Amino acid sequence: MPVKVSMTVNGKPVTVDVESRTLLVELIREHLRLTGTHIGCDTAQCGACTVHINGAAVKSCNMLAVQAQGANVTTIEGIAKADGTLHPMQEAFREHHGLQCGFCTPGMVMSAIDLARRHADLTEATIRAELDGNICRCTGYHNIVKAVQAGAKATRSA
Amino acid sequence: MYQFNYHKVTSVADAATLLAKNPDAKALAGGQTIIAAMKLRLASPPDLVDLSGIKELGGIKLDGGTLTIGAMTRHAEVAASKDVLQAIPALASLAASIGDRMVRNMGTIGGSIANNDPAADYPAGVVGLGATVNTNKRKIAGDSFFTGMYETALEPGELITSVVFPVPKRAAYAKFKNPASRYAMVGVFVSEGAGGVRVAVTGAAPSVFRVPAMEKALAAKFSPDAIAGITVPADGLNSDLHASNEYRAHLVTVMAKRAVEAVLGSK
């Protein structure tokens, strides 16, 4: 059954004909060609597909595109400034080498931005606990935690 | 996943009509279980009825001695709600312990209890607090709502509208998480309120259950020592690659003691 869905993605209105079973991540990657959002496990465990729906982090592989009807969706492509200046959280991941192979990074960054928004004071323990929905197969968590801490601080003072 | 018909409704009445007309149809709340199940083709409902457009199913209301949570309220909302934190902080912390942040931003209380996964957290909160499940047809006591593994008292076309929790004097939830899935291997909810002491266990058996011997012992003396010698039989408990039934039986006493300790430490 084809369904028409409309939403705002990275500030731009989009309307797409999808199947009712089309996942949000499929709409993002295959229809909109925004391939920064990754499919890792495809079973809602690894968090590589994390995007924001109205500012809240969700797993786009575990959600139907039709569930995002009317929503404001932000993907990893939508957080840097138009001139290419990285978001403070992206900059912190670069600065602290918060990645190894980089596959989990888009999801990590999107979760970290949601995390920084909700906590005034981010301790290492809080970051480790709150990132439990994002898995880094390279197990490079140490630098990721440092990056999130620095990125949260930079986001607040930005 | 297999193809299905998607229906978005804006009223409980419309949802109930569709669900009653299509006996194999499923309600879609946050979708954090059913979408994963449909992707794996463990579930293939021909129709999905999306409840997210029904405004009357949202919201949290604290009214004197009762806390009412709308069926479509997300776990993250319950965890952060000032009313829940003030009235039943144990319920807020239960909600905060479900899955991970992204799951909590989507998953709902109504979806969780309607699914009645043997290892879900909310059934322990509903039974452990003596809550009432309101549907479009009736009020169901929490004690008789959960009828078996993935089974509830809900009838075809019956939809949860809200869950009403009596505010207890004190309560706590202690959960031994599966480190990968964050589901409860064993979770024990203990409360003391107007209805006496309640001890509800999730994760251990096919469905949530109370431990009357512990409730009686705690009513006489509210301390971890009072239940240290009380065990539940391992027969009939869940046994899988994560834990044997004997292990889970042992965990029930351990987690119940920890819940009592947490209750005593909280106020």
Decide if A133 and B50 are in contact by the 8 Å CB cutoff. no
Residues B15, B159: Cα–Cα separation, whole Å: 8
Averaged pLDDT, B77-101? 97
| Mutate: best of A63, A66, A67, A74, partner B, most B CBs <10 A | A67
Residue type, A62: N
Decide if B36 and A62 are in contact by the 8 Å CB cutoff. yes
CATH 3.40.50.300 fits A2-78, yes or no: no
Domain extent listing, chain A: 2-78, 88-157
Percent of chain B clearing pLDDT 90 (strictly above): 95
Percent of chain B clearing pLDDT 70 (strictly above): 100
Cβ atoms < 10 Å from Cβ of A11 = 10
- Chain A touched by B35 (CB under 8 Å): yes
The predicted complex's ipTM stands at 0.95
**Residue ranges in chain A modelled with pLDDT below 70:** 1
| pLDDT score of B245 | 98
Query: Which of A3, A47, A64 is the closest to B102 by Cβ?
Result: A47
Residue B136 burial (10 A CB sphere; 0-12, 13-18, 19+): middle
| A2-78 against A88-157: fold identical | no
- Chain B touched by A58 (CB under 8 Å): yes
In which residue are the tokens 């409360």 written?
Answer: B191
Better-predicted residue by pLDDT, B130 or B181: B130
Strand order in the sheet with A72-74: A12-19, A2-9, A72-74, A50-53, A56-59
Closest residue, chain B, to A53 (C-alpha) = B105
| pLDDT score of B267 | 53
- Chain A touched by B212 (CB under 8 Å): no
Query: Which pTM value belongs to this model?
Result: 0.95
DSSP states of B98-140: SS-HHHHHH-BHHHHHHHT-TT-SHHHHHHHTT-EEEESS-EE
- Cβ contacts (< 8 Å) between B180 and chain A: which residues? 45
| pLDDT score of A156 | 85
Q: What angle do CA B107, B110, B112 make, to 5 degrees?
A: 55
| pLDDT score of B19 | 95
- Helical packing angle, A105-118 and A141-157, nearest 10°: 50
- Chain B touched by A109 (CB under 8 Å): no
Q: What is the pLDDT of residues B163-202, one digit of tens each?
A: 999 999 999 999 999 988 889 999 999 999 998 999 999 9
Residue B46 clears pLDDT 60, i.e. is over it: yes
Domains of chain B: residue spans and CATH: 5-266 (3.30.465.10)
Closest residue, chain A, to B5 (C-alpha) = A1
Which CATH number applies to A88-157: 3.40.50.1970, 1.10.150.120, 3.40.50.300, 1.10.10.10? 1.10.150.120
- Chain B touched by A50 (CB under 8 Å): yes
Choose among B261, B262, B116: nearest CA to B202.
Answer: B116
Decide if B103 and A53 are in contact by the 8 Å CB cutoff. no
Residues A86, A77: Cα–Cα separation, whole Å: 10
| pLDDT score of B148 | 97
Averaged pLDDT, B228-235? 97
Decide if A56 and B105 are in contact by the 8 Å CB cutoff. yes
| pLDDT score of A2 | 86
Decide if A21 and B38 are in contact by the 8 Å CB cutoff. yes
